[in-house]
Chain A
């Protein structure tokens, strides 16, 4: 096919060592009018420093969301790409593929779409970019036949992400893939039919390294952790000290512990004050062979993370310091907790208000009461420092704590 548009700006992005998206676009443009005009519009954006897409309404039968509609504002100049919609499709947890399924997805996309596929979007979806309104249903049907389903868009539960986790990481503290699927597949209705105040994201990280950035990028972060002692292989500790040297171990392990709970003994063994370990992962990250998370593993749950709009960036806040995730009942109660949170937020959140913003507005204590969780010191960095607070019911509240504690003691 003859080159449709000159692209002097984009051409400059074909040189250099990093793989060039422009080169791929050009390959597609050789056989496909839509991508030829898309390249033209992108070049136009580069030349004028402006975007030329507007939204609209496009969806597939039975679903409200999942397609990101894009209509060009310059369709006269670039008619073949005047409709350039994206289908968000949920990948398997951990983003595993065999080549057979990837090829089938490519075949579908060459047939029904532009041939441009982003792996993956910031939302965690496979993004099939570039589809006409007419073809969206056919493309989705074919993808759906392969066992893949639409992701979230709009005021809905959104596509989730989980780390590689137990599939290939020794730090994994729970079954990320199962937790991810169990939770998400309990919310397909809220995912496909946007009817919440705003978006709601779940993310699952297998350990406190939080490779999924869940503390900041999800409304409900499920992060693996453990309650018992760090597992130590004494021989491997000795071997590590021997190879790296004592100074390395002191400078890079012992003195970097945030709660100073480690010491290097005269016999080159390591002593850990596990009661003060905050499960930060640093020593385990450095000494991957000698140290591992404990055996009594589970998750910490934080709620309310999000980026800037509207009230400023928020990290998630601990609402469940520790929860086991092993039995069917454990998973059921995780789903129930998520349902309770989403229901409460759907009821009390303002339009376009994220869950964390609602918590900021009503206060964490009220939120906890609303979803039926008891307050715990692990939920705060420090108690309040401002004395302007009304505390008429102090005795009542203090009794709740005392009773919970007696129960806890009694249970031991």
Chain B
């Protein structure tokens, strides 16, 4: 249930603006990779180009090569919805569907895949909610609106929704930035648990979080505003936070920059 992601010279644009340039890195299966760096350095753009969500914005496009287990996800013949089913995504702000119940939120992806049978849906919903450490809190009110949960619960609901379709890779775009420390901890615990089954890539502004949860860390940065973001250093998290090879990385993680 996990696959290797290889990015080669990935460059992404918003219209005429080049947001990231020549990003090359490999993410191993069943690891947590953290993308860190100052605001506007293109971490989220890179993350969104991994499941082809970048191109949703008008005028946005991606150059270069991105493969998952060797298959080019930007191949002309590839069905973009299949890519997104394989590579799930959790967003910065919890975004459950406001008109759906908790249950419907969790099974939304399964319904897209044409699963109709109630028993299968119920089973999958329970499994996903248990994996997301949310089952005990919501099992008695599955028919209540998902938007009625607290922020941390909503984010775990979104994680449940993402993993309910059993993707290969889970992308997380600053999943804890809108949450309080306790909810953050709950989600970090969850990441450790999910690591056994999924490849996880997480964008975070919180360096302690990156150090706590990730196996590998990629540091992105920009020279100055308007320049494209570049990958400065990509290594084991332990090395990045103890003995980085690049001066820029060291400056950033010690707080002298960004």
The answer to whether A and B assemble together is no
Residues of A within 8 A of B (CB): none
Residues of B within 8 A of A (CB): none
